[in-house]
Amino acid sequence: METTSDNQISIEGFEQKFQSRFATVYTNDTKGMIICTLNRDYVPIEFFKETFNQISEIIAAGSYNKFIFDKRSLRTFHQPSMEWYFIHWKKDMLDYGLSEHRKLLPDIDWFKKAVMIAKDQLMEQYPSNIIKKLNIRYCDNIEEAIAS
């Protein structure tokens, strides 16, 4: 992975599909992977959903099985966004074959704890969720997420 002069990430074999002020999305059709890199420390839920709805269109039109979600720029944990992503978006995308999820979290202890607490609460609140059908791993960098 390399950074270009305009501070955009260039990942070998991946093509930038779109960029907004909150996120940049890359795809690799050969590997069936999508990467979403958040660009801000906070993403309002309406923009979060808008971004993921655009990603949904890409997934529906292609053949993807792995989604890499790079949240390392976040400094605010937003429970409603996570809940929507966890309960609705992942379920809808599983219907298109997207079953592998890799997540990169900010290197902030309280953020990581908030994610795990929220995940446990959602699992308890929604026991029939599709989470058991998904292959989810937390990674330290993009290279590890692509390889795992």
Q: Per the structure block, which two tokens stand in for 112?
A: 């990581």
What's the confidence (pLDDT) of residue 3? 37
Q: Which domain holds residue 110?
A: 2-147
Q: pTM of the predicted model, to two decimals? A: 0.88
Tokens 């590890």 belong to 144
What's the confidence (pLDDT) of residue 9? 53
What's the confidence (pLDDT) of residue 4? 37
Give the count of domains, the chain.
Answer: 1
What's the confidence (pLDDT) of residue 35? 98
What's the confidence (pLDDT) of residue 7? 38
What's the confidence (pLDDT) of residue 10? 57
What's the confidence (pLDDT) of residue 17? 97
- pLDDT digit string (tens) for the chain, length 148 residues: 433 333 345 578 999 999 999 999 999 999 999 999 999 999 999 999 999 999 999 999 999 999 999 999 999 888 889 889 988 899 999 999 999 999 999 999 999 998 889 888 887 877 676 777 889 999 999 999 999 9
Tell me the CATH number at 64.
3.30.750.24
What's the confidence (pLDDT) of residue 58? 98
